[in-house]
Amino acid sequence: MKIILVAGARPNFMKIAPVIGAIQQHNCSRKSGGVKIDYLLMHTGQHYDDAMSKTFFDDLNLPEPDIYLGVGSGSHAEQTGKVMMAFEQVCLQHSPNLVVVVGDVNSTLACAVTAAKLRIPVAHIEAGLRSYDRSMPEEINRILTDQVSDYLFTTCEDANDNLRKEGVSADKIHFVGNVMIDTLLKFRDCALERIQVRMQGRYALVTLHRPSNVDYQDVLQDIFEALTEVSQKLPVIFAVHPRTQKQIEDFGVGKSFLVSDWDFIHKKSLSRTVYLLPPLPYLEFLHLLMHAECVLTDSGGIQEETTILNVPCLTLRENTERPITVTEGTNFVVGNNPEKIVASVERILESGIPPKKPAPRFWDGEAAERIIEVLSRISV
């Protein structure tokens, strides 16, 4: 069986890495007569610079992509269209039996739709997640990708429920667990070993990239005012997404924040201020995540990672497509109101580390193996 694995943006690499490992393990251990899975790794180039792409291939031991589309940045329509046009030619050239997409980025939707139109079966890893907020581009991508997919691999029971409510046939839904957690559990010790110096003292860790937070000057300014107030209680480390960096420069906000880098913050005692860092490689960011007093983010994946790491997480959105991180994890959905953000941080600092809960079902490091077990039974 020949499959194409699609990755395009930073979160995709963390999700596709364990799938490649599981394929390799399957091919080495399969019994006589078992299907061999040949794969091509395709990088669409949606995230294309070293900080958002190359370092992840290095850290996660990913092979060089077999196919690189190099679509680059652009509007949602422009980026999606470029991927579709280029991927159509890839499919016609290689005639895969299956296309595997992960997550909810533009590359996910573009490749799923293209394959479906060519009548190539599609498998969607991380299917069924819903925020029920269609102002989020990712929500549109999730819904449409699931509708054209033949194999829907879910991370949690509420995702199964969402798909059933939308009329998806039960035989298409496979509850396998969370491949993002496969990667975290595999590399957690590596992050500790590679980075010998633990961060000095307590700090809060921040990431922001959603349009609702960074595309409006007044909203971003309010969040920055909240971060400034939080920094009077403990240092704030803000790993800045390139898109967010552009908005900071265009709006002229955050001028009092200290521009820094990894070499400085992990070797020095931190002052009570906000440190702006460029995007970090996976292992360095994981190290920061593990040792943070709390995390402030609008990222879905970080909500999941902090749940496993037992680190308090404040989601700066009005909703989440990962409610399991609230009901079974350490996540609090607080929105982007500055007073609420500051009050929530104060509450965390007063209450300390939450009691450790059992991990959600199948968030155990073996999700990718379950996926490949299903795919290996496909008749081609």
Residues marked as catalytic: 209
**Residue 121: partners with Cβ closer than 8 Å, 6 or more residues away:** 97, 98, 99, 115, 150, 151, 378
CA 18, distance to chain mean position in Å, is 14
CA 36-42-47 angle, 5° bins: 150
Find the farthest-apart pair of alpha carbons in the chain and give their distance in angstroms, rounded.
65
* DSSP letter (8 states) at residue 360: P
> Alpha-carbon distance 6 to 126, whole Å?
13
Residue 276: which H helix or E strand, with range?
strand 274-277
Calculate the alpha carbon distances from 290 to 9, 211, 354 in Å.
23, 27, 14
> Alpha-carbon distance 25 to 372, whole Å?
10
Give the torsion through C-alpha atoms of 182, 184, 186, 190, to 10 deg.
170
CA 248, distance to chain mean position in Å, is 22
- SS3 label, residue 256: coil
